Amino acid sequence: MGLATLLDKEPREQAQGSMFNRILIANRGEIACRIIKSARRMGIQTVAVYSEADRDALHVEMADQAVLIGPPAAAQSYLLIEKIIEACKATGAEAVHPGYGFLSEREAFPKALEASGIVFIGPNPKAIAAMGDKIESKKAAAAANVSTVPGHLGVIADDKEAVKIADQIGYPVMIKASAGGGGKGMRIAHSASEVAEGFARSKSEAKSSFGDDRMFIEKFIVNPRHIEIQVLGDKHGNVIYLGERECSIQRRNQKVIEEAPSPLLDEATRKKMGDQAVSLAKAVGYDSAGTVEFVAGQDRRFFFLEMNTRLQVEHPVTELITGVDLVEQMIRVAAGEKLTLTQSDVKLSGWAVESRVYAEDPFRNFLPSIGRLTRYRPPAETSLDGVTVRNDTGVTEGGEISIHYDPMIAKLVTHAPTRAEAIAAQSNALDAFVIDGIRHNIPFLSALMQHERWQAGRLSTGFIAEEYPEGFHPVTAAGAMAESIAAVAAAIDHVHGERKRRISGQMTGRAVTRERRRVIRLGDLWLSLDVAREAEGIAVQFVGDNGTVGPARVLLSPWKPGDPVWTGFFHGLPIAVQVRPFINGFVLAHRGVEAKAFVYTETEAASARLMPVKKPPDTAKWLLCPMPGLVRSIEVKEGQEVKAGETLAVVEAMKMENVLRAERDATVKAIKVKSGDSLAVDAVIMEFA
């Protein structure tokens, strides 16, 4: 029995009428898996395509058929239109869903499919042409009386012209690729020097990611919010909008957390935005699911940014608050069906929050991480007591995160009656999300969920830069958080001790007496506890420096040694803590805190306090590669004196160019690599005198 059969949780409906019998998904990863699930519920067979790097990928296993289309590089596989058409003909696929990214917004793709008698599950080519080009879309929006941002809508030739235009518009400005998306080919510049460098980097990224390096510049709205309207049209002239999504939590212009609805909008602004989005969609004859993106001020004034003529990454939050399966609607519209929904049918219910789980190291400036998922245990997908947990993913335990594609691992989505409840559910789900083998951003996402400003809904696209100006650093356990983690560590240690006492074959004799007192070390914090079994739970009492013993608090949990997550109740409140054992303790992760909890007896603790602290080695003499990647350029020469902040090298990883700068004034002693070299993490790029 194949994995695709095992994952088929619901009986298939028989496709009727003009509905497709078989569709091909021209994509990979979580979005390919997501499309397969909807197609399966509709009784439609699916065909996956895959590169050599994705031979064992989840979407390949889930689909009814799979076709190899080329080498790992997207330019030689997923971006080749002729390969997709060949796969359709070989398998009898009648239609193609492009997902997002890759070929999803290329006008040439639906045209080529149509010429081969294959249906494109997406908007018509004219709509893609009108809206897919960022420059032309702004002109169309202005013509449709949609509010637009001031800027220069012509194609910019070089960095000198870019600086001249930016000077005229006034800083700050946004440099954007006309064919861009997903935060690539985009930079914010606050000065002429930043425009010059940002233009070069964005142009290069746009060329490698989209094959189109046309750039434009527009005014950057200070303290803005990113809000988008989901639209849905059919081939009979009907267009509706399905509320909005708040996507202001971004890093390097790439969305990290999304929610629906927006905590900013009132009903009047929502309707005004929605009406403008529908007006624009009708003006270009839009006939599928699409998104009209706006930048909004804190005063609710909004301006058109662009229209994405495809399914958005963050579409699940809209699905959860409206109850509309957007993938199913796209398929039905492509098959010629009329929308069965009218605008008055669209009702928003509850609140949804989505976290993008990325393969990146939040403690090293979010640099990409690649490798094998030695452990991948997402929280269970449930819908209980008005709270829904959903995980859209394209990976499985044992799978590999490749350098060739986007670093997304999963999209964790929660839905509840209120925003506060949806955030609380998201926090609990993140605590239970276990990933080992690579670095990931769950510690950051968990910490952000606890952030007072996020919880209050005081958002802007500068949120991460403003709240974490020095980058994200490990959250230190303190106060009630430290007590919770220490209590769980003591309880885990107690369960381990009880299990050891039950090992068979032990020598008989006097019974072993377990000491009640334990000392938990969390960094520089030392906490003493009395620990004892109490019925089905474990009671802990914190001991003060003066020897006073606090009240008993009971921990209840079915946890057993080997479980990666301790779930249960501490003092009556639900709690989930990730557990990874090491000598003399456990690494525990909870609410963004990842703490090494050493567990000692009092005698052991007295000795441990006397141990010297091992200091990390000084790496200031070298420039190390912060992530696995490809050297795009070396910007300095041996013997050259460099100043702090000066560009030293550019390394590309997961389709993003990362500029490595000097942290201090120095002289380049030796350069160890050259352009084109493929480097591992912490590989030495250059040495300083």
Active site residues: 306
Sort strands 45-51 and 65-70 into parallel, antiparallel or unpaired.
parallel
Contact status, residue 660 vs residue 626, Cβ threshold 8 Å: yes
Taking the C-alpha atoms of residue 159 and residue 107, their distance in angstroms, rounded to an integer, is 28
C-alpha to C-alpha distance for 642 and 359, rounded to whole angstroms: 32
State the DSSP string of 410-453: EEEEEEESSHHHHHHHHHHHHHT-EEESS--SHHHHHHHHT-HH
Task: Quickly list DSSP for 494-533.
Answer: HHHHHHHHT-TTPPPSSPPPPPSEEEEEETTEEEEEEEEE
Using the CB atoms, write b or e for 643-671: b if 16+ within 10 Å: eeeebbbbbbbbbbbbebebeeebebeeb
Q: Give the separation between CA 510 and CA 269, rounded to whole angstroms.
A: 76
Counting Cα atoms < 13 Å in the Cβ hemisphere of 472 gives 25
DSSP letters spanning 163-182: HHHHHHH-SSEEEEEEEEET
The token pair at 643 is 């100043």
41 Cβ contact list (under 8 Å, min separation 6): 10, 12, 13, 328
CA distance 326 to 318: 9
Cα 47 from Cα 62, distance rounded (Å):
9
Whose structure tokens read 């381990």?
496
Radius of gyration of the chain (CA): 27
